[in-house]
């Protein structure tokens, strides 16, 4: 800019005053104000053909070099201002830089011409050979000076070399300067040698050619734009077709990124869980649908679905409160999230249920390894409200490996089935197989049939005798339910009772057996005074404690059957009473107020606390058959039975031992002071008519022991394996 300013200042200082005229003024105004508007871009190039260079050259040939230098500077400044007014961002410094470059390059051209040709105007007026020489030198000088200065300046702002910039951006401009110089020479010669009319015609024809050529170029641009638009549409259509065929290739990365961002973007949304922030069941199902769709194109795709259910969550939730339960769920979600690999997914379904998708399984045993990792991670205690809480998990696994799964719900269903198998068998995890599905279908049919069993009169009441071990006389019966299926015959209780528990059918079934056995007992008691002390025990399901009208239901049955309530003993499993101890105590007190007796069944298999046991309004402890069947002198189970009996006597409770099968077990129980017992040694559960036969012969077991004296029990150990038939 300093060099350009110096060149302009020196030129103004030497400007010949006699050259100033009206013609020069008009020519200068035309050049400055109109030349920048008259420009044409050459097709398929970044070059613009303007008349400004031609006008500058005309000024040089006709009005002298000083006029050309000043006019080039003013024209450059005005053109830059014009661009800035159109919204093109041009700094003020750049504006003056453009003017300085124009002044400096034109200055160099003028003085080079004067150096070579002395008087430019005189030399140009000479022969055609001289004229061509001066025009050519003028074009080359202006091109070289301008391109070299511009390239040198660009080199300071770019990493490219000077020659690379000059070759890529400036070399093509040579044609502009040559065309402008020869056009200027042509018009100069025309003014010198041709009359004004011919000049006017020439200018008019030139303008017409210019406008026609400009219209031609515009038409070319429009046609090119339309062709480009049509080509773009064809290209877009082809790209869309390719994307439809190959969209799954990039879909995994997109979903992975979406999963990373979804936690914050979709929190209190439709695809995420409000409590944990994890994806919910809807999101989980959508991911499975995507993977199944992807499997159509990727035959080696292998992934697994894990269905998780926390154990004992209801106990924690009921005992510590729902807020603590929510905190436990949140902590579990955090631990599960920490185990996920890139691309895997963990979701919360509802309550204490979670789902996991393991994608791209590295090996068949990875699922088992991961499930064990989850188990060990969740075994670490949680701290809730200042206390440590322990939980565990049951996991079902369904693996997709070129399988026939068509729907996302199907693979999730199979993982759910495997989870229930794991829970029933006290396993940490199980992998689904088709036998489980067949079993599930069978259970579904079993559930359907069970719902009609009462209406179709398919249920039967069986009775197993309860014997007074001191006198070996009949004390009463335990009423047990049997189901006579119209196609399958007698269905074992171990098969249909769990189904009834899961579906809630156990409630109407229990009410049925309660009503049936109370009606039978009332009939026995009315038949003979000897039967007035006879009792009947009925198992009461833990599901009943969730029924608000359980007390009213039992009261109504007692009133309808006319049975003496003191002859009815309701048996509740230890695990059921401890699931919600405080609520159970209140319920048991209401039942006790009806006059019925209460017994804790399967005692020793649950997790009862002595601090609760003495508060339960119960009459009897029932020793589980698992302890009785393996009871030996000095064995661990023998000591457990001894402890239970001692505990019952301390609490002034009766003891009933179930599962007595040998005389040896009978001897030991009598020695330990167990009051009552039942088992195959005395009788299997029998239908009503056979129970009546037992009732007619209440002392039938007194010959089981040759000398019915507790003191002689030790002398009869040789009969340990002897069993007595019904």
Residue 479 near residue 537 (C-beta atoms within 8 A): yes
Cβ-proximal residues to 102 (8 Å cutoff; 6+ apart), any chain: 4, 72, 73, 75, 76
**Average pLDDT in the 635-640 region?**
76
Which pairs from 28-34 meet CB under 8 Å and 24+ separation? 28/59, 28/67, 28/71, 28/74, 30/55, 31/55, 31/56, 31/59, 31/71, 31/75, 32/71, 32/74, 32/75, 32/78, 33/78
pLDDT at 555 over 90: yes
pLDDT at 41 over 60: no
Least confident segment among 235-244, 341-350, 433-442: 235-244
CA-to-CA distance for 597 and 571, rounded, in angstroms? 9
Angle at 437 between CA 434 and CA 442, to 5 degrees: 130
**Average pLDDT in the 365-369 region?**
90
Residue 655 near residue 623 (C-beta atoms within 8 A): yes
The token pair that represents 491 in the structure block: 């269905």
274 CB neighbour count, 10 Å cutoff: 10
Give the residue among 414, 410, 259 at the shortest CA–CA distance from 341.
Answer: 259
Cβ-proximal residues to 662 (8 Å cutoff; 6+ apart), any chain: 681, 720, 721, 722, 723
**Average pLDDT in the 141-153 region?**
76
Instruction: Give the residue extent of every domain in the chain.
Output: 2-193, 197-258, 266-432, 461-696
Beta bridge partners of 601: 573
**Average pLDDT in the 692-709 region?**
79
What is the number of H-type helices and E-type strands within the chain?
Answer: 26, 18
Q: Could you give the 3-state DSSP secondary structure of residue 669?
A: helix
Residue 336 near residue 346 (C-beta atoms within 8 A): yes
pLDDT at 320 over 50: yes
Share of the chain above pLDDT 90, in %: 29
The token pair that represents 404 in the structure block: 């026939």
Which pLDDT score, from 0 to 100, does residue 725 have? 30
**Average pLDDT in the 241-250 region?**
69
Give the residue among 282, 302, 291, 299 at the shortest CA–CA distance from 255.
Answer: 291
Rounded to 10 degrees, what is the CA torsion of 50, 54, 60, 61?
A: 180
Looking at mean pLDDT, say which of 202-211, 247-256, 296-305, 517-526 comes out highest: 517-526
Least confident segment among 76-90, 152-166, 188-202: 188-202
Which pLDDT score, from 0 to 100, does residue 194 have? 54
Which pLDDT score, from 0 to 100, does residue 721 have? 31
Sheet arrangement for strand 429-431: 345-350, 353-358, 302-311, 392-401, 429-431
Residue 659 near residue 685 (C-beta atoms within 8 A): no
Residue 648 near residue 655 (C-beta atoms within 8 A): yes
Q: What is the DSSP letter of 661?
A: -
Q: Could you give the 3-state DSSP secondary structure of residue 527?
A: helix
pTM over 0.85? The answer is: no
The token pair that represents 721 in the structure block: 């394996």
pLDDT at 712 over 50: no
The token pair that represents 198 in the structure block: 């011919």
- Comparing 266-432 with 461-696, is the CATH topology the same? no
Which pLDDT score, from 0 to 100, does residue 718 have? 34
477 CB neighbour count, 10 Å cutoff: 28
**At 655, phi and psi to the nearest 5?**
-125, 130
Angle at 196 between CA 35 and CA 204, to 5 degrees: 45
Which pLDDT score, from 0 to 100, does residue 683 have? 94
**Average pLDDT in the 700-714 region?**
62
Q: Could you give the 3-state DSSP secondary structure of residue 598?
A: strand
pLDDT of 460-490, one tens digit each?
999 999 999 999 999 999 999 999 988 889 8
The token pair that represents 288 in the structure block: 């499975």
CA-to-CA distance for 72 and 75, rounded, in angstroms? 5
Which pLDDT score, from 0 to 100, does residue 474 have? 94
Q: Could you give the 3-state DSSP secondary structure of residue 433?
A: coil
Beta bridge partners of 538: 479, 570
Which pLDDT score, from 0 to 100, does residue 120 have? 65
pLDDT at 716 over 50: no
pLDDT at 377 over 90: yes
Residue 303 near residue 361 (C-beta atoms within 8 A): yes
pLDDT at 719 over 90: no
CA-to-CA distance for 518 and 554, rounded, in angstroms? 10
Dihedral sign from CA coordinates of 356, 358, 363, 369: negative
pLDDT at 709 over 70: no
CA-to-CA distance for 573 and 544, rounded, in angstroms? 12
Which pLDDT score, from 0 to 100, does residue 88 have? 65
CA-to-CA distance for 236 and 703, rounded, in angstroms? 99
Which pLDDT score, from 0 to 100, does residue 703 have? 79
DSSP string, 100-161: HHHHHHHHHHHHHHHHHHSSHHHHHTS-HHHHHHHHHHHHHHHHHHHHHHHHHHHHTTSSS-
Which pLDDT score, from 0 to 100, does residue 722 have? 33
pLDDT at 449 over 80: yes
Residue 92 — very low, low, confident or very high, per pLDDT cuts 50/70/90?
confident
Domain 266-432, CATH class in plain words? alpha beta
Residue 53 near residue 75 (C-beta atoms within 8 A): no
**Average pLDDT in the 335-348 region?**
93
3-state SS, one letter per residue, for 235-265: HHHHHHHHHHHHHHHHHHHHHHHHHHHHHHH
CATH superfamily of 461-696: EAL domain (3.20.20.450)
Q: State which fold the 2-193 domain adopts.
A: Arp2/3 complex 21 kDa subunit ARPC3 (1.10.1760)
Dihedral sign from CA coordinates of 10, 12, 13, 14: positive
Share of the chain above pLDDT 70, in %: 79
């Amino acid at each position: 800019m300093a060099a350009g300013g110096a060149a302009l200042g020196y030129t103004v200082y030497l400007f010949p005053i006699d050259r100033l005229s009206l013609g020069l003024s008009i020519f200068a105004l035309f050049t400055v104000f109109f030349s920048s508007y008259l420009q044409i871009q050459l097709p398929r190039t970044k070059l613009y053909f303007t008349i400004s260079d031609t006008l500058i050259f005309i000024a040089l040939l006709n009005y002298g070099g000083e006029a050309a230098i000043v006019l080039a500077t003013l024209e450059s400044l005005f053109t830059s201002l014009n661009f800035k007014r159109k919204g093109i961002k041009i700094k003020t410094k750049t504006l003056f830089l453009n003017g300085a470059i124009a002044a400096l390059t034109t200055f160099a051209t003028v003085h080079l011409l004067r150096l070579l040709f002395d008087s430019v105007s005189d030399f140009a007026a000479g022969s055609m050979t001289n004229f061509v020489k001066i025009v050519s030198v003028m074009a080359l000088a202006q091109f070289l000076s301008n391109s070299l200065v511009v390239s040198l300046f660009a080199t300071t702002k770019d990493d490219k070399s000077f020659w690379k910039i000059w070759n890529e951006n400036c070399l093509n401009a040579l044609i502009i300067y040559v065309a402008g110089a020869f056009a200027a020479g042509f018009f100069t010669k025309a003014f010198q040698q041709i009359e004004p009319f011919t000049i006017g015609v020439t200018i008019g024809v030139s303008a017409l050619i210019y406008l026609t050529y400009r219209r031609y170029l515009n038409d070319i641009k429009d046609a090119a734009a339309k062709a480009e638009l049509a080509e773009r549409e064809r290209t877009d259509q082809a790209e869309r077709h390719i994307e439809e065929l190959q969209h799954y290739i990039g879909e995994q990365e997109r979903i992975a990124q979406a999963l990373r961002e979804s936690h914050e973007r979709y929190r209190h949304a439709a695809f995420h869980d409000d409590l944990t922030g994890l994806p919910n069941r809807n999101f989980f199902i959508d991911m499975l649908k995507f993977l199944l769709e992807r499997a159509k194109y990727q035959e080696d795709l292998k992934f697994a679905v894990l269905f998780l259910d926390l154990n004992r969550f209801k106990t924690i939730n009921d005992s510590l409160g729902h807020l603590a339960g929510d905190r436990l769920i949140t902590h579990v979600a955090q631990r599960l999230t920490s185990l996920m690999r890139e691309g895997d997914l963990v979701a919360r379904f509802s309550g204490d249920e979670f789902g996991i998708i393991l994608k791209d399984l590295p090996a068949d045993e990875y699922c088992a390894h991961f499930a064990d990792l989850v188990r060990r991670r969740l075994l670490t205690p949680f701290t809730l409200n200042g206390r440590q809480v322990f939980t565990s998990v049951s996991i079902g696994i369904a693996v997709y490996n070129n399988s026939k799964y068509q729907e996302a719900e199907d693979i999730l269903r199979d993982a759910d089935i495997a989870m229930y198998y794991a829970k029933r068998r006290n396993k940490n995890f199980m992998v689904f197989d088709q036998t489980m599905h067949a079993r599930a279908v069978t259970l579904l049919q079993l559930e359907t049939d069970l719902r009609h069993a009462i209406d179709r009169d398919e249920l039967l009441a069986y009775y197993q005798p309860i014997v007074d071990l001191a006198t070996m006389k009949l004390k009463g019966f335990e009423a047990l339910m049997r189901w006579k299926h119209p196609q399958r015959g007698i269905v074992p209780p171990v098969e249909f009772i769990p189904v009834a528990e899961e579906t809630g059918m156990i409630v109407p079934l229990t009410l049925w057996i309660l009503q049936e056995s109370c009606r039978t007992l009332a009939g026995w008691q009315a038949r003979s005074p000897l039967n007035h002390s006879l009792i009947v025990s009925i198992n009461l399901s833990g599901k009943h404690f969730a029924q608000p009208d359980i007390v009213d239901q039992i009261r109504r049955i007692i009133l309808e059957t006319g049975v003496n309530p003191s002859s009815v003993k309701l048996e509740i499993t230890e695990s059921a009473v401890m699931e919600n101890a405080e609520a159970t105590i209140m319920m048991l007190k209401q039942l006790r107020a009806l006059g019925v007796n209460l017994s804790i069944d399967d005692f020793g298999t649950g997790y009862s606390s002595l601090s609760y046991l003495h508060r339960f309004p119960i009459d009897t402890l029932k020793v589980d058959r698992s302890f009785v069947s393996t009871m030996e002198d000095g064995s661990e189970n023998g000591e457990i039975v001894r402890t239970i009996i001692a505990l019952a006597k301390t609490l002034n409770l009766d003891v009933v031992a179930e599962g007595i099968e040998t005389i040896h077990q009978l001897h030991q129980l009598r020695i330990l002071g167990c009051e009552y017992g039942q088992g195959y040694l005395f009788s299997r559960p029998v239908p009503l008519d056979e129970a009546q036969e037992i009732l007619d012969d209440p002392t039938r077991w007194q010959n089981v022991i040759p000398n019915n004296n507790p003191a002689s029990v030790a002398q009869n150990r040789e009969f340990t394996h002897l069993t007595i038939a019904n």
